[in-house]
Structure 1
């Protein structure tokens, strides 16, 4: 049995697992290939290089369909390409146009850099001494340290 026939049988089995029509399988395959390409190439998903495997593998899939069926079915071929490429292209474009979608914010409290903290403190007017009834200055206590 040749490669193309086995490939076609495997694809038909996979398409049988997906909801109708087969365009769902193309959509899922396009997204999976795009995600795995990002992992395998160690590139962020906003990199154009993650789209290269999606495009190449879909073109190879359509070539196998053409060899197996004996001729091009352009109506189906163009729809398969559009279904496979649509979401990876849309998501990549969104990630590139709106970088906030790919920004990482570590959990926990944000810490100001020392220079930024000094700039903030320099911009504020000096705080007048605050005395507790026992006569101690309580400014440090309010900031979390021992009384002066």
Structure 2
């Protein structure tokens, strides 16, 4: 049982490490700042969730995958630190969540009542 658990743990950490290395490469070599990358990633993840679920734009449940994925991203930042700071994590969370949360709550009149038309 333990070797299997160790294998799963090392595989997950390996994936997270490769993801984190790719994210750092994009941040270093891309034309945009880290904050702009977080804003765009947040919007893209939220829009993809809305389109895949086929629910109302204001359905707050569309925010759950965004929250989960950004939390995992920040866990990766913490586990594989490259200039990690708490203030940087808070800023990343703010910029990732800002537009999706604002739009979902501004649009959100109907909320979870039905499918998008």
Q: TM-score range by the shorter chain?
A: 0.7 to 0.9
TM-score if structure 1 supplies the norm length? Answer: 0.59
Measured in 1, the distance between the counterparts of 2:53 and 2:81 equals: 33
Determine helix, strand or coil for the equivalent of 1:52.
helix
CA drift at 1:10 = 1.1
Identify the residue that residue 17 of structure 1 maps to in structure 2: 30
Closer/same/farther in 2, CA of residues 70 and 13 from structure 1, 3 Å limit: closer
Decide whether the 8 Å contact of 1:14 with 1:25 is kept in 2. Answer: no
Closer/same/farther in 2, CA of residues 85 and 18 from structure 1, 3 Å limit: farther
Measured in 2, the distance between the counterparts of 1:13 and 1:70 equals: 12
CA drift at 1:97 = 5.0
Identify the residue that residue 42 of structure 2 maps to in structure 1: 30
Q: What does the per-residue CA deviation read over 1:108-127, in whole Å, with 9 as the maximum and x for residues that have no partner?
A: xxxxxxxxxxxxxxxxxxxx
CA drift at 1:39 = 1.5
TM-score if structure 2 supplies the norm length? Answer: 0.74
> Which consecutive residues of structure 2, in runs of 5 or more, have no partner in the other structure?
1-12, 111-115
Decide whether the 8 Å contact of 1:18 with 1:24 is kept in 2. Answer: no
Measured in 2, the distance between the counterparts of 1:14 and 1:46 equals: 31
Matched residue pairs, number? 100
Give me the CA root mean square deviation.
2.7
Decide whether the 8 Å contact of 1:34 with 1:51 is kept in 2. Answer: yes
Aligned partner (choices 97, 100, 111) of residue 85 of structure 1:
97
Aligned structure 1 segments of 4 or more residues deviating by more than 6 angstroms: none
Decide whether the 8 Å contact of 1:38 with 1:50 is kept in 2. Answer: yes
**Structure richer in helix, relative to its length:** 2
